[in-house]
């Protein structure tokens, strides 16, 4: 309502955001076959990672979602690789989604609103002892 009072055309803004999200989703769909093989079950393979990235980053921040994506992606790769090297068992590499599910549980217990929902100034003050 405030945007309308300030002169912003809310319907055009909403329409633009829908077209932008559709364009970004279609670009992601076009580029995905270059990274992995596309089969009918592709969505089932990546949905856990996508959901974990959204939860970790926070559902109300684009920047948080980007950081959440990096955190989940790097964690899946590094944790499974490290465990496979330490145990000398390459079969552990397929358990990346378990890492994502663990990250979801930890995030919901520690920071239910994700990284974007944390008051970082308060955390920094608490760590410095002020």
Number of other residues whose CB lies within 10 A of the CB of residue 49: 20
Q: Tell me the pTM.
A: 0.68
Answer whether 52's CB lies under 8 Å from 79's CB.
Answer: no
DSSP secondary structure, 2-34, as one string: HHHHTT--HHHHHHHHHHHHHHHHHHHHHHHHH
pLDDT digits (tens, 9 = 90+) for 90-104: 888 888 889 999 999
Give the residues of the chain that fall short of pLDDT 70: 120, 130
Number of other residues whose CB lies within 10 A of the CB of residue 5: 7
Domain spans in the chain, listed from the N-terminal domain onward: 1-38, 39-130
């Amino acid at each position: 309502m405030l945007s309308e009072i300030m002169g912003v055309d809310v319907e055009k803004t909403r329409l633009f955001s829908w077209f932008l999200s559709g364009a970004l989703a279609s670009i992601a769909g076009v580029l995905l076959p270059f990274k992995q093989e596309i089969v009918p079950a592709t969505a089932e393979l990546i949905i856990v990672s996508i959901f974990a990235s959204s939860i970790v980053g926070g559902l109300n921040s684009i920047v948080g979602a980007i950081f959440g994506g990096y955190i989940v992606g790097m964690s899946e790769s590094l944790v499974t690789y490290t465990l496979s090297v330490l145990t000398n068992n390459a079969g552990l590499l397929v358990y990346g989604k378990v890492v994502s599910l663990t990250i979801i549980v930890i995030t919901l217990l520690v920071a239910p609103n994700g990284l974007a929902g944390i008051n970082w100034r308060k955390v920094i003050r608490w760590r410095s002892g002020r």
